[in-house]
Amino acid sequence: MAPPVLSVRNLRVEFPTRHGTLVAVDDISFDIAAGEVLGVVGESGAGKSMTGTAVIGLLEPPGRIARGEVILQGQRIDNLKQDEMRKVRGKRIGMIFQDPLTSLNPLYTVGQQLVETIRTHLPVGADEARIRAIQLLTEAGIQGAEQRIDSYPHEFSGGMRQRVVIALALAAEPELIIADEPTTALDVSIQAQIIQLIKKLCRERGTAVMLITHDMGVIAETADRVAVMYAGRIAEIGPVRDVVQRPQHPYTKGLMGSIPTLEATGDRLLQIKGSMPRLTAIPQGCAFNPRCTNVFDRCRKDRPEPFTSHGSQVACWLATQTIAKTNEEAGR
């Protein structure tokens, strides 16, 4: 098998404060292969965006990577100097953010911004860069790209601006794209179009994608695998069909149970009581234990480490007991 495009190993992100050190991302590991979409899902405060920010080296001080490694195509990038990391961003890692207006400069046409990005990272002249920019806009679904290339960002709708941002992210033929809530600010019908576009372009180009979202519907539609995060840790990670249809962690089950279905018969949706713990008050043991309906003594004392179960990685003592019981019964 080919090595993964992105490999994150034991990543820990800390924020030193006067009152102690806050841990925003706590010892997480995952891989993303070429052409694969890894969905990262969880409530606000789970550490999803912080993980993406750490990968691309945009942590705001005093935030820092305290431990772990971020490896891109065999090269460790978490320890690069700022000027070296700038060469990686844009060229080897493309970024798609939630609000396209924050990614586009309102003073320049979309063509000027695309051409500048292309010429910064690729050895091409102005004319060739413009031709390439028009091709990218066309691939991104901008009709009449030859004329629209000289338009300013405010002359595009929200969905069209996001298409421009996707074209920018792909401009230098990156190996990895990090998409942080790329559809949240868009209408539902436009969301589906953007999701299909990201899938299509990345499969055709073999680009790895880290898709960060709180929307399980987007994950189910887009991702090949999904990592469910809670309080800075990965609660469950595995193939999206397995995680959606047979969730093993109680938190994942709660997320799945809170999604309405077309087959619903009028029963109330499940609700996860309580809220995500603050970084200053993460409980001992399993961080989910105050909200878990299946909690027992060990959950409150010992933190579970991920283990393999039915093709997924699950960090849950209850799942561990279930597997042990199944194995015991199978051995009788």
Does residue 331 have a pLDDT over 60? no
Conformation bin of residue 239: beta by default, left when phi > 0, alpha when psi is -120 to 50 = beta
**What is the DSSP track for 37-104?**
EEEEE-STTSSHHHHHHHHTT-PPTT-EEEEEEEEETTEE-TT--HHHHHHHBTTTEEEE-S-HHHHS
What's the confidence (pLDDT) of residue 219? Answer: 87
- State pLDDT tens for residues 164-192: 999 999 998 899 999 999 887 788 888 88
- State pLDDT tens for residues 291-320: 999 999 999 999 999 999 888 999 999 888
Output 220 or 161, whichever has higher pLDDT. Answer: 161
pLDDT bucket at 256, cuts 50 / 70 / 90: confident
What's the confidence (pLDDT) of residue 324? Answer: 55
Q: In DSSP terms, which residues pair with 9 in a beta bridge?
A: 69
Query: What is the average per-residue pLDDT within 93-100?
Result: 86
Query: What is the average per-residue pLDDT within 39-66?
Result: 94
Alpha carbons 249 and 153: distance in angstroms, whole number: 43
Query: What is the average per-residue pLDDT within 116-141?
Result: 94
Output 236 or 2, whichever has higher pLDDT. Answer: 236
What's the confidence (pLDDT) of residue 257? Answer: 80
Alpha carbons 103 and 168: distance in angstroms, whole number: 9
What's the confidence (pLDDT) of residue 100? Answer: 78
Query: What is the average per-residue pLDDT within 318-329?
Result: 65
pLDDT bucket at 266, cuts 50 / 70 / 90: low
Percentage with pLDDT > 90 across the chain: 69
* pTM (two decimals): 0.91
Q: Within a 13 Å sphere around the CA of 93, how many CA atoms are in the beta-carbon half?
A: 27
What's the confidence (pLDDT) of residue 108? Answer: 96
What's the confidence (pLDDT) of residue 267? Answer: 66
pLDDT bucket at 230, cuts 50 / 70 / 90: very high
E strand or H helix that includes residue 309: strand 307-309
Q: What is the DSSP letter of 186?
A: S
Query: What is the average per-residue pLDDT within 116-127?
Result: 94
